[in-house]
Structure 1
Amino acid sequence: MRIAIMGSGGLGGYFGARLVQGGSADVHFIARGQHLEAMRRDGLRIEGPEPLHVRSPSVTDDPRQVGVADVVMLCVKLWDTDSAIEQIRPMVGPQTAVISFQNGVLKDRSLRAAFDERQLMGGVGYVATTIAAPGVIRQTGPMQRLLFGEFDGSRSARGQALLAACLAGGIKAELSTEIVREIWQKYVFLVGLSGTTTTIRQTIGPIRSNPQTRAFLLDVMREVVAVGRAHGVNLPEDYAQVRLQLADDVSPEMTSSMHHDLQRGNRLEVRWLSGGVVELGAARGVPTPLNRAIADILALYADGSGS
């Protein structure tokens, strides 16, 4: 199975390395800048609970060199989606599965406008990582998981093949028949984690331990659940409480990629995360005051003006 990783940062680089380790897939990384140069020179290193060194990855900045892939994993930041779609076109054939493992629930809009619905699968990735240095990805907690599936709920042959490749690499993967619900389930947690860690500028440990910030985290997630239910997503009414338990179970040092981006003066994905909750809530008449506050608080930093 030929797998192309479009965006070889924290998520794409981590799971791509695991796929290489598994040995049952032909994995190609698309990267750029210093990260690309370091991967060519020194390989790709994963630091953390399960260290790994891919010494000679197949890496390029030109997707045309890869050719048509069986699976294209889209792992770029959300603001790069439109440009990434144009870049991956040479890798997408009639039978190719394009899977966005990006954040949020708005991520598949552009893909649906660019490709046939039959070329798309849904995806969700869970991993706490950061680029420690060019060519080096640090995993900051033990959680790692990939979920993917056809939007029509079928268990396709291509989904089964990707599952086998993931499992061979030690990835905790699952082929889902309810991928839309899975995407929203992550969205609930991610909006809460990203919104609180970035506005409060702390890791999850202090936030979940303080009664006032813990209540804020829970209520932010409650708004996401209410919006999802209003859009017909099968989420239990008390699902935010379930996600709060996940927040209690992860490493106290865990934070969000958006928090890392704020610290580094990079652009933020807030428009698609808390901002997406506000947009989708307004479409169904669901009030989202806390997510509106998060989006407003971070508005001056959204374009990368620094912390």
Structure 2
Amino acid sequence: MRIAVIGAGGVGGYFGARLAAAGNDVTFVARGRHLDAVRRSGLLVRSPLGEFRTPPASAVGSVSELGPTDLVLVAVKLWDTEDVAAQLGSADLHSPYVLSLQNGVHKDIILRSHLNDDRLLGGTCFISAFIEEPGVVVHNNTLQKIVVGPYRDEQASTSRAVYEAFRDAGIETELSTDIERVIWQKFIFLVGLSATTAAVRRPIGVVRSNDRTRVLLEEVMRETAEVARASGVKLDDAFVEAQMEFCDTLPAGMTSSMHNDLDKGNRLELPWLSGGVVDLAEQLNIAVPRNRTVADILAPYAFGRPAA
């Protein structure tokens, strides 16, 4: 399979390198020093599951440099989605299928505004990985899971082919018949984890062990679940309770990428997490006071650490 991976960070770098190691023709779209390093020496992935490297010159600097492609994986930060979608919409890649591994529920809405709806597959991923230095991605633990599924009935065979490509690359993979629900389920958990760890500025162990911040975590997720149901997503009545139980099983030191970005003074994906919940809730005439408060608290940091 000819695969283009747009964004060679933790998510795109790890899964793309896995697919390349399994014999797929993978090209990364990267930039800056990371691009230079991958062009020179390939992309090195260090993981508890093994170390592997892609061939040198396996990266290009823009979508326009890609050749004919069967599958595009989108793995950029959410604020780059609009630009990437526009580039994909105008590129001559011979009508590939597109699968976003990004966070949230807004990603596919943006991609649909530039792409043919029948070429967009649904998916999400579960992994903790990051760029350690240019040309090197580190996978933190053994969790590396992809869930993929069709949005339309006629995409069933293609979704299965993509599922098999990930599975054959040694990635834990699931084929879902209700991928929109899976994406929302992850979004609800992610919004809760991101909102609370970033607002409290501490890992999940601190959040869940304090009575007041534990309630905050639960209510942030309940609000997001209410938006999901109002959007037509079928969730079990006890879904949030199950997520709270799951949070109790997580390592105490686990945190979110938004908390990490906040600590480093980087730009935040806030407008597509708690801020995104607020925007969707306004369209549905639903009150989400907990998410709104988190979005307000973190607003000064949305574009990075304030200068003063």
TM-score interval (norm. to shorter): over 0.9
What secondary structure sits across from 2:202 in the alignment?
coil
C-alpha RMSD of matched pairs (Å): 1.9
Tell me, yes or no, if the aligned pair for 1:141 and 1:251 is still in contact at 8 Å.
no
Aligned to 2:172: 172
Judge which range, 255-264 or 173-182, deviates more: 255-264
2:306 and 2:55 mapped to 1: Cα distance?
Answer: 35
2:138 and 2:13 mapped to 1: Cα distance?
Answer: 10
Q: Which amino acid aligns with 1:252?
A: A
Aligned to 1:193: 193
Aligned to 1:33: 32
Aligned to 1:290: 290
1:197 and 1:275 mapped to 2: Cα distance?
Answer: 15
**TM superposition shift of 1:117:** 0.9
1:26 and 1:198 mapped to 2: Cα distance?
Answer: 38
- Give TM-score, length-normalised by structure 1: 0.93
Aligned to 1:157: 157
Aligned to 1:110: 110
Judge which range, 179-188 or 51-60, deviates more: 51-60
Tell me, yes or no, if the aligned pair for 2:48 and 2:142 is still in contact at 8 Å.
yes
Tell me, yes or no, if the aligned pair for 1:4 and 1:28 is still in contact at 8 Å.
yes
Tell me, yes or no, if the aligned pair for 2:17 and 2:54 is still in contact at 8 Å.
no
Tell me, yes or no, if the aligned pair for 1:266 and 1:306 is still in contact at 8 Å.
no
Tell me, yes or no, if the aligned pair for 1:73 and 1:100 is still in contact at 8 Å.
yes
Tell me, yes or no, if the aligned pair for 2:122 and 2:148 is still in contact at 8 Å.
yes
Aligned to 1:304: 304
Aligned to 1:66: 66
1:15 and 1:252 mapped to 2: Cα distance?
Answer: 26
- Give TM-score, length-normalised by structure 2: 0.92
Identity across the alignment (%): 44
Q: Relative contact order, CA 8 A, sep 6+: which one is greater?
A: 1
Tell me, yes or no, if the aligned pair for 1:63 and 1:91 is still in contact at 8 Å.
no
**TM superposition shift of 1:52:** 2.0
Tell me, yes or no, if the aligned pair for 1:3 and 1:72 is still in contact at 8 Å.
yes
**TM superposition shift of 1:86:** 2.9
2:45 and 2:245 mapped to 1: Cα distance?
Answer: 28
Q: Which amino acid aligns with 1:278?
A: V
Q: Which runs of 5+ in 1 are unaligned?
A: none
What secondary structure sits across from 2:107 in the alignment?
coil
1:204 and 1:44 mapped to 2: Cα distance?
Answer: 31
Q: Which amino acid aligns with 2:91?
A: P
What secondary structure sits across from 1:105 in the alignment?
coil
Tell me, yes or no, if the aligned pair for 1:45 and 1:52 is still in contact at 8 Å.
yes
- Listed one character per residue, the Cα deviations across residues 135-185 of structure 1 (whole Å, up to 9, x for unaligned) are 222223332211111112566222122111111221111121101101100
Tell me, yes or no, if the aligned pair for 1:14 and 1:137 is still in contact at 8 Å.
yes
